Amino acid sequence: MMYYSSLKISPLRTSFLKTALMLSLSTIAIPAIASAADVQKTLQGYYAARDTAFVSKNVEIVLAHYAPDFTGISDAGKSHDLKEERADYLKTFALPAKSAITQSTIEKLALGKSGTEAVATLHKHAILLFSDPQTGRNSVLVLDGRVQDTWTKRPAGWQLTHEVSSVITATMNGKPL
């Protein structure tokens, strides 16, 4: 028999305890893979926060979940990075909009096998109310788009790493732009 800290432990019990300890440690070391429904709920929450931040023109919250290495492709096929994305938001926020409503809705989510990458296909809808400086009349800009976002699970949480805008339609006072 072996003696541990003045306790008598038989070889069979020692083997059992070692096995139990190894199993418990291996359970701790393997991260759980979230379900697609859980990831969709998390990402939809991020989109809701971004929509609210857009209305209040808060670029820091709008970009809070963007990865530092973010890249995007516009509907015209132009590539851009996080710095250019920030500049585009600031330019939009500088417009003299009286009010805005935005909504981003996930239509489809594909979760990678490892659970660390997700591709969200979403519909974006925005309505902005402007006062025309020349006429003093209100003008309504409506934007609708389909976007495919790639999210990656990193130590800081889910981060938007890539965005492709595939279809964007815009109307001003009901007329296509």
Q: Supply the range of the domain harboring residue 61.
A: 33-176
Tell me: do 15 and 88 sit in the same domain. Answer: no
Tell me: do 23 and 40 sit in the same domain. Answer: no
**Tally of domains in the chain:** 2
- pLDDT band at 108; cut points 50, 70, 90: very high
Tell me: do 10 and 67 sit in the same domain. Answer: no
Statement: residue 17 has pLDDT above 70: no
Statement: residue 44 has pLDDT above 60: yes
Tell me: do 106 and 151 sit in the same domain. Answer: yes
Q: Which helix (H) or strand (E) holds 69?
A: strand 66-73
Tell me: do 16 and 92 sit in the same domain. Answer: no
Contact between 40 and 109 (Cβ < 8 Å): yes
- The residues pairing with 160 across neighbouring beta strands, listed in sequence order, are 66, 151
Q: What is the pLDDT of residues 19-35, one digit of tens each?
A: 544 544 443 434 556 79
Tell me: do 26 and 42 sit in the same domain. Answer: no
Structure tokens at 76: 């015209």
* Residue, of 131 and 78, whose pLDDT is higher: 78
| Predicted TM-score (pTM) above 0.85 | no
Task: Convert 109-123 to b/e letters by CB count within 10 Å (16 or more is b).
Answer: bebeeebebbebebe
For residue 53, give the nearest of 106, 92, 107 by alpha carbon. Answer: 92
Structure tokens at 128: 């902005």
Tell me: do 108 and 83 sit in the same domain. Answer: yes
The span from the CA of 152 to the CA of 175, in Å, is 38
Q: What is the pLDDT of residues 135-169, one digit of tens each?
A: 888 999 999 999 999 999 999 999 999 999 988 89
Tell me: do 88 and 59 sit in the same domain. Answer: yes
Q: What CATH number did the domain enclosing 38 receive?
A: 3.10.450.50
Tell me: do 37 and 110 sit in the same domain. Answer: yes
Tell me: do 13 and 56 sit in the same domain. Answer: no
For residue 64, give the nearest of 74, 55, 54, 77 by alpha carbon. Answer: 54
Tell me: do 79 and 108 sit in the same domain. Answer: yes
Tell me: do 69 and 16 sit in the same domain. Answer: no
Contact between 130 and 97 (Cβ < 8 Å): yes
